[in-house]
């Protein structure tokens, strides 16, 4: 089994993007999503595309890895593309057959919407998931959300849950493999038969897996108590996040990008996206 699941999509590296404070990256990614959604003009999309390619280059992540990350959304992209081609009403009619009317604007619109989905995924994964370890991601989230603890939102507990979940994914994957092998050795078959049959074959895997997960949780709780854990009160952190000038610069760049997009929307001529 592949233990890399625990690290999500994180790619080891030491680029500028890798070194930025996770908080700056979370904020930047959020701003970037807004930037993408307010873009209307073709030229704004061009700017965003160029910008995304530049950040991807700056992250020093291989193009192959990024393209591979886009694979799961191909279906959604094609689907939304086709729907948009058929439903969009423009001026220049290209195909007029029975109930099918395809306009040139419809095709451009569909392409832009597909581009929007690509940019969304590529931008956020390059800025965040490819260049930030899940651990510093949770750390950053905890710090960003920490003001919420004043209104009794259990921010610390939430982040600890995330940390422990990430920590136990590889352990449980390993355990699942072990249980599956044990069942296979007793003649269980997980790959053949009808869907119902295969689903039923999973029960003897899930039951021991849950039982052991509960036992683990119990032991972990005792171990944490022995290590003087008593909630987030009075707890310090070894690695304190320090925002530097480059972090502020990063956020600023994304805000400026948004301003540029708004200006282009307002003044540039040319095609505008429909949705």
Binding site for other proteins (CB under 8 A): 3, 6-7, 133-135, 163-164, 166-167, 170-171, 174, 216, 219-220, 222-230, 234-240
Q: Chain centroid to CA 18: how far?
A: 16
Q: How far are the Cα atoms of 130, 158, 224, 237, 241 from residue 166, in angstroms, in the given order?
A: 16, 12, 17, 19, 20
Q: How far are the Cα atoms of 142, 190, 199, 201 from residue 193, in angstroms, in the given order?
A: 46, 8, 10, 10
Cβ proximity to other proteins: between 92 and 167 the closer is 167
> From CA 219, how far away is CA 231, in angstroms rounded?
17
Cβ proximity of 61 and 129 under 8 Å: no
Cβ proximity to other proteins: between 72 and 234 the closer is 234
φ and ψ of 41, to 5 deg: -75, 150
Least separation in angstroms between CB 79 and other proteins: 36
Least separation in angstroms between CB 70 and other proteins: 26
Least separation in angstroms between CB 64 and other proteins: 24
> From CA 149, how far away is CA 143, in angstroms rounded?
10
Least separation in angstroms between CB 223 and other proteins: 4
- Among 5, 26, 53, 22, CA closest to 240: 22
Least separation in angstroms between CB 241 and other proteins: 11
Cβ proximity to other proteins: between 37 and 229 the closer is 229
Angle (nearest 5°) at CA 183 between 179 and 186: 145
Contacting residues for 82 by C-beta, under 8 A, at least 6 apart: 110
Least separation in angstroms between CB 55 and other proteins: 25
Cβ proximity to other proteins: between 3 and 37 the closer is 3
Cβ proximity to other proteins: between 6 and 111 the closer is 6
Cβ proximity to other proteins: between 3 and 210 the closer is 3
């Amino acid at each position: 089994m592949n233990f890399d699941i625990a690290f999500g999509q994180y790619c080891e590296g030491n680029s500028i993007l890798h070194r930025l404070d996770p908080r700056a990256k979370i904020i930047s990614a959020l701003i970037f999503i807004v930037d993408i959604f307010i873009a209307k003009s073709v030229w704004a999309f061009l700017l965003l595309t160029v910008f995304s390619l530049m950040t991807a280059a700056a992250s020093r992540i291989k193009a192959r890895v990024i393209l591979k990350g886009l694979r799961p959304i191909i279906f959604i992209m094609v689907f939304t593309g086709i729907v948009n081609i058929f439903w969009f009403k423009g001026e220049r009619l290209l195909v007029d057959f029975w109930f099918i009317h395809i306009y040139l604007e419809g095709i451009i619109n569909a392409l832009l919407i597909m581009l929007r989905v690509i940019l969304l995924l590529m931008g956020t994964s390059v800025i965040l998931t490819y260049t930030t370890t899940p651990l510093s991601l949770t750390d950053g989230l905890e710090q960003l959300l920490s003001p919420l603890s004043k209104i009794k939102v259990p921010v610390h507990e939430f982040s600890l849950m995330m940390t422990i979940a990430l920590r136990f994914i590889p352990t449980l994957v390993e355990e699942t493999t072990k249980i599956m092998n044990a069942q296979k050795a007793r003649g269980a078959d997980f790959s053949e038969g009808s869907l119902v049959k295969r689903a039923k074959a999973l029960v003897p895997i899930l039951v021991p897996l849950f039982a052991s997960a509960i036992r683990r949780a119990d032991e972990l709780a005792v171990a944490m108590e022995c290590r003087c854990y008593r909630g987030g009160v009075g707890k310090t952190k070894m690695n304190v996040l320090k925002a530097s000038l480059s972090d502020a610069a990063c956020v600023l760049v994304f805000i400026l990008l948004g301003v540029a997009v708004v200006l282009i929307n307002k003044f540039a001529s040319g095609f505008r996206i429909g949705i």
